[in-house]
Structure 1
Amino acid sequence: MERVHVLQKHDQIVSGIDWSPRSNRIVTASHDRNSYVWNQEGPEWVPTLVILRLNRAALCVQWSPRENKFAVGSGAKTVCICYYEQDNNWWVSKLIRKRHDSSVTSVAWHPNNILLATTSTDGKCRVFSTFIKGVDTRDSKAGSSSDSKFGEQIIQLDLSFSWAFGVKWSPSGNTLAYVGHNSMIYFVDDVGPSPLAQNVAFRDLPLRDVLFVSEKMVIGVGFDCNPMVFGADERGIWSFVRFLGERKSSFSGSKYGSQFSEAFGKFYGQSKTGVSNDGIDPSRSRGGVHENCINCVVSLGEEGSSRTLRFSTSGLDGRVVIWALENQEDLSEYL
Structure 2
Amino acid sequence: MAVVASHHIAQSITAHAWNATLSMIALCPNTSEVHIYTGTPAPDSVWKKAFVLQKHDQLVSGIDWAPISNYIVTCSHDRNSYVWSFDGTQWQPTLVILRLNRAAISVDWSPKENKFVVGSGAKSVCVCYYEADNNWWVSKIIRKKHGSTVTGVAWHPNNLLIATTSTDCKCRVFSAYIKGVDSKINPGTTFIDTKFGEQVLQLDLAFGWSFGVKWSPTGNSLAYVGHDSTLHIVSNIGPTPSHQTINLRQLPLRDILFISETRLVGGGFDCNPMLFEIDPKRGVWTFVKFVDEAKSSTHDLKSSTLFLEAMGRFHGQTRRGTHEAFETSRASGLAHDNCITCIVPLISAGEVNGQETGEKVVQAFSTSGVDGRLIIWSFSNITELLAKLQI
Equivalent residue for 2:284, pick from 237, 252, 260:
237
Q: Which residue of 2 aligns with 1:125?
A: 171
Q: Where does the alignment leave 5 or more consecutive residues of structure 1 unmatched? A: 257-281, 328-335
- Relative to 1, partners in 2 of residues 1:315 and 1:284: Cα closer, same or farther, differing over 3 Å? closer
Q: Conserved in 2, the CA contact under 8 Å of 1:175 and 1:187?
A: yes
Equivalent residue for 1:103, pick from 149, 153, 163:
149
Task: For 1:307, give the aligned amino acid.
Answer: V
- Relative to 1, partners in 2 of residues 1:153 and 1:288: Cα closer, same or farther, differing over 3 Å? same
Identity fraction in percent = 62
Structure 1 residues 187-226: aligned runs within 5 Å: 187-226=233-272
Q: Which residue of 2 aligns with 1:278?
A: none
TM-score norm. by structure 1 comes to 0.85
Distance in 2, matches of 1:251 and 1:2, equals 34
Q: Aligned-pair distance for 1:317?
A: 1.1
Is residue 30 of structure 1 aligned with residue 104 of structure 2?
no
Is residue 156 of structure 1 aligned with residue 210 of structure 2?
no
Q: Which residue of 2 aligns with 1:325?
A: 379
Q: Say which SS state the counterpart of residue 91 (structure 1) adopts.
A: strand
Q: Which residue of 2 aligns with 1:293?
A: 339
Q: Aligned-pair distance for 1:139?
A: 3.1
RMSD: 2.1
Structure 1 residues 137-148: aligned runs within 5 Å: 137-140=183-186, 143-148=189-194
Q: Which residue of 2 aligns with 1:53?
A: 99
Task: For 2:261, give the aligned amino acid.
Answer: E
Q: Which residue of 2 aligns with 1:18?
A: 64
Which range is displaced more, 99-108 or 199-208? 199-208
Q: Where does the alignment leave 5 or more consecutive residues of structure 2 unmatched? A: 1-46, 305-327, 382-391
- Relative to 1, partners in 2 of residues 1:287 and 1:147: Cα closer, same or farther, differing over 3 Å? farther
- Relative to 1, partners in 2 of residues 1:218 and 1:141: Cα closer, same or farther, differing over 3 Å? farther
Task: For 2:56, give the aligned amino acid.
Answer: H
Cα deviation code 1:264-316 (max 9, x no counterpart) = xxxxxxxxxxxxxxxxxx96656711111110000112455511000011111
Is residue 73 of structure 1 aligned with residue 119 of structure 2?
yes
Equivalent residue for 1:86, pick from 126, 132, 148:
132
Is residue 170 of structure 1 aligned with residue 224 of structure 2?
no
Which range is displaced more, 317-326 or 58-67? 317-326
Distance in 2, matches of 1:211 and 1:105, equals 16
Q: Aligned-pair distance for 1:249?
A: 5.6
Q: Say which SS state the counterpart of residue 232 (structure 2) adopts.
A: strand
Q: Aligned-pair distance for 1:144?
A: 2.9
Distance in 1, matches of 2:113 and 2:377, equals 26
Q: Aligned-pair distance for 1:43?
A: 1.1
Question: How many equivalent residue pairs?
Answer: 301
Distance in 2, matches of 1:38 and 1:142, equals 35
Task: For 2:131, give the aligned amino acid.
Answer: E
Task: For 1:292, give the aligned amino acid.
Answer: N
Task: For 1:26, give the aligned amino acid.
Answer: I
Distance in 1, matches of 2:279 and 2:343, equals 23
Task: For 1:244, give the aligned amino acid.
Answer: V
Task: For 2:288, give the aligned amino acid.
Answer: V
TM-score norm. by structure 2 comes to 0.73
Higher relative contact order (CA 8 A, sep 6+): 2
Distance in 2, matches of 1:53 and 1:92, equals 9
Which range is displaced more, 5-14 or 312-321? 312-321
Task: For 1:320, give the aligned amino acid.
Answer: L
